[in-house]
Amino acid sequence: MTIPDSGYMMENGSIELPCTPEEEARIIQELISKAESNLREGNTYYVISNRWFRDWQRYIGKPLGAYPFNEDATQSQPFLFPNTASRPGPIDNSDIIIREIDGESDDPELIITLEEGRDYVLVAQEVWEKLSEWYKGGPALPRKMISVGDAKQLSVEVFPLCLNLHDTRDRSHKVIRLSKKASLHELYSIVCKLKGIAPEKARIWDYFNKRKYTVLVASDQTLEGSNLQMDQDILLEVQAEGLLPSGFGFDSTGNDLALVPVEPLRSSVTIAGGPTLSNGFSAGYSSNTYQGSSLSSTYGDIEDGYDSMRPASKGERGGLAGLQNLGNTCFMNSAIQCLVHTPPLVEYFLQDYTDEINKQNPLGMHGELAFAFGELLRKLWSSGRAPVAPRAFKGKLGRFAPQFSGYNQHDSQELLAFLLDGLHEDLNRVKQKPYFETKDSDGRPDEEVADELWRYHRARNDSVIVDTCQGQYKSTLVCPDCNKISITFDPFMYLSLPLPSTVTRTMTVTVFYSDGSGLPMPYTVTVLKHGCIKDLIQALESACCLRTDEFLLLAEVYEHRIFRYFENPTDMLNSIKDDEHIVAYRLPKNVALLTRLEISHRYQDKCIIDSSKASERKLFLTPLVTFLEDPRNGVDIDFSVDKVLSPLRRKAFISPEPAFKDGAENGSPLEKIEEPMNSCTIQFGHEDRSMEYTEPVENSSRGMAFHLCLTDERGTCCRPVVKDTVIQPARMLKVILDWTEKEYELYDASYLKDLPEVHKSGLTVKKTKQEAISLFSCLEAFLKEEPLGPDDMWYCPGCKEHRQASKKLDLWRLPDILVFHLKRFSYSRWLKNKLDTFVNFPIHNLDLSKYVKCKDATESSHVYELYAISNHYGGLGGGHYTAYCKLIDDDRWYHFDDSHVSAAAESDIKTSAAYVLFYRRVKVQQNGVVGGPSSNRSS
């Protein structure tokens, strides 16, 4: 074997080039930066298995560009890894492609359920070529960058369009893959070259659901514009002598009888059928699940193309049609079913709504989205139980919202938000929006300001969506510096409610007495996750029963030093990580007039005898903070150290006449706190120790009890403290206490060891069944006052500066249709998470009266009943969406699972999968009896 000049052949087959991991990182980073500055349609990118890419990033010691390394890390955690990993072998993409049964394929197919970042990364062509030069391997998986949607958004087409080609001549079947941006001309060219026929003799049909839907005429129209879906069928007919053979393999309807399977047996609980896979994909759209005799009657209406806009009526058993899955579109199907079972929208779109379509609105979609949704709703309510394939609607959705194009799983709530906003703009009755200059409240009554802003809003926004789905909330901002109060009233379309577990966090902080009056004690408190230091201090003050003449000074302890003090009450709590060690020192409020004394602890290895080797001494234990009143010499420091250490004195060295003795109050060692592994006992000593202390003799007559050294800010310079050491006035002094055998005999150091972490999720005493969270607690968490984030600063008109104001929301005006979004998903740059917490929500008589601040007597009732739920099952990426919807006329619930529709008991609709809840307002009579629905127009 010839060794190439450019490198050395390794045992694993890769080529080791003469460059270090750091040089590899530098070269690739330069190529990434170059590619990012030259983004354009037609660029080639390559798919690489994330499994191999992670190994390579471990080798170079850090991530590069936009490629994540550690899925479990959060954005705020730096990615710095020692490059101690061995050099990876050849590039291996075998885990992300479908293995061919009949050998290797020139065009390997990717597994359809892959997710970017989790399963694969995309690298520019230059990056791939360099990595391939270094490591070889493969197979190469090139993909083109295309522009999607009317906005021409650039995106790499990872999954090309797969079409199943059926040939009527020999009934053969072949899968072809090409870009959805390819034209029908290109489709004809590929098919004719594959089959060896002249283009003028070929006719290709859109063979969706194995029915000849329409002829695909060779043109510049794209496959995407022709509504061709992933994995759908197309049919090739070949003319003989310029004529199609009469009746060749087709019945009177033009269908290939051999390709129409018999309908499978259905369950007794199924109303409309079609198999659905657990990962959100459905096989129902690629195979016909209906009897041949029913084809002409059912599939004539199965495509949601535009019909005439004459008023429609509900068909027999209307509202029980499922939606076929077009390739991971269960998220879309779930949201649509909830909307098409919203009574005001059903009544609106079943009538002639063409006069209200606003084609000139620059914020809308030229009325096309409203047309597509309206026709889809009409078909779902008039097609009986036959499932509808929303191909035309999905095509419009991909045009106007490219983020929902393709075949990946998306968020049903995000789609719902887009649809409500898009339908409103397409149906906005206001053609020319007037301009209004908003005014500050300036102390005016809330009712006056709210009505004024609502009138302004309705003068610019008037549609069936605003009539039924929009409400108004009150927003109060308070400046933390000048206390300027700003009140606004804003419209809302839905309420995104945080789950309390996503709003709060538990934090364990160890509290120390600075005057030596008690033992240190850990306290676990619950605070707002996005709160500030002030919130944590307030929670601790209550937990440790802080006296009125004291305050708490928070600090982080790192490697037995005080790493930082938290002296700014507006600093955010998210700067404190769960694995850090936080302490709080109880200090007198007049400490500004005193000298703060910070005490670190140091020990010396017994093997080191030479006292000159002071540098060999190491810090240990937890630093203490106390205070000095007008310190003059070393004896004053020695006295304060003795006082703050006094609770740690062992029993044998305590005077029988105690100066004080704590009982089992909160904060004493006798208190029982539920901490992981009984940390109070393990970490802070035995429970039966008393805290007795005898006041030392007068300072002037005592000697030095400890070996102390004054040190600087960094702890590098040490100056011994003796009795006559003169202490200069200072705001803070730092000393190091050298522990000798005498200190070990006198004091129990275990109280200062092993500080608990802020949060230790892995150590739980006992896992108990999680209690249900009520919808009301989620709503209260949403309405609770909290500070704005550092990235969401408010410009205070009083200070003329951006401030981190506190914000409080209140409900003011409720719509007839009230939508609650439960925020189960949390995202950061590198981390995605889902909460499966069960939320207990009422089905009937949801009374929100106490949450509505508007006291207008003419306001409609605030009582609601549930009529639809969008559910999400499973985790991220592999989850599945369904919907529960209630047919109001029948007063019965049904489960919509893509094509499947089945009856559901009301007792079964409350699950931990509930994601978006739909409520409608109901009338409440004077006697308190719940009546029918209110009118569609809100007041």
Residue 838 to residue 915: CA distance in whole angstroms: 10
Quick check: 474 and 450 in contact, CB under 8 A?
yes
One fold for both 29-71+78-141 and 161-238? no
**CA-to-CA separations, 837 to 399, 408, 911, 915, in angstroms, rounded:** 35, 25, 9, 11
Fold classified for 161-238: Ubiquitin-like (UB roll) (3.10.20)
- Name the one residue in this structure whose structure tokens are 């960058």: 145
Q: Which pLDDT score is estimated for 260?
A: 31
Burial 815-836 (b: 16+ CB within 10 A, else e): bbbbbbbbbbbeeeebeeeebe
pTM of this structure: 0.62
Q: Which pLDDT score is estimated for 106?
A: 66
**Range 278-281 contact pairs with CB under 8 angstroms and sequence separation of 24 or more:** 278/874, 278/878, 278/880, 279/113, 279/328, 279/878, 279/879, 279/880, 280/325, 280/328, 280/330, 280/331, 280/409, 280/878, 280/879, 280/880, 280/881, 281/112, 281/113, 281/325, 281/327, 281/328
**CA-to-CA separations, 601 to 302, 343, 607, 622, 743, in angstroms, rounded:** 79, 72, 19, 7, 11
Fold classified for 29-71+78-141: DUSP-like (3.30.2230)
Q: Which pLDDT score is estimated for 103?
A: 47
> Which two three-digit tokens encode residue 261?
């399977």
Residue 855 CB-density burial (10 A; 0-12 exposed, 13-18 middle, 19+ buried): exposed
Residue 107 to residue 93: CA distance in whole angstroms: 13
Q: Which pLDDT score is estimated for 287?
A: 33
> Which two three-digit tokens encode residue 172?
């053969």
End-to-end CA distance of the chain: 85
Q: Which of 916, 919, 918 is nearest to 824 (CA)?
A: 916
**pLDDT, tens only, 493-540:** 999 998 876 667 889 999 999 988 889 999 998 887 777 898 899 889
Residue 466 to residue 272: CA distance in whole angstroms: 33
Fold classified for 504-606+616-650+705-752: Ubiquitin-like (UB roll) (3.10.20)
Q: Which pLDDT score is estimated for 317?
A: 63
Please state the separation of Cα 864 from the chain's center in Å.
29
Rounded to the nearest 5 percent, the helix, strand and coil shares of the chain are 25, 30, 45
- Name the one residue in this structure whose structure tokens are 């409203």: 370
Q: Which pLDDT score is estimated for 934?
A: 53
Active-site annotation, residues? 330, 880
The ranges assigned to domains in the chain are 29-71+78-141, 161-238, 504-606+616-650+705-752
Q: Which pLDDT score is estimated for 262?
A: 30
Tell me the average confidence (pLDDT) per consecutive run of 10 residues in the chain, 939 residues long: 38 56 86 86 90 87 50 36 66 84 64 82 91 90 84 84 88 87 89 88 87 87 84 86 45 36 31 35 35 31 44 67 88 94 94 90 89 92 86 84 74 92 93 82 83 92 94 90 86 91 82 91 86 88 89 92 88 86 91 84 61 64 89 85 89 50 36 34 33 41 78 76 80 88 88 88 42 84 82 82 86 94 72 78 93 72 94 80 91 93 93 95 65 46
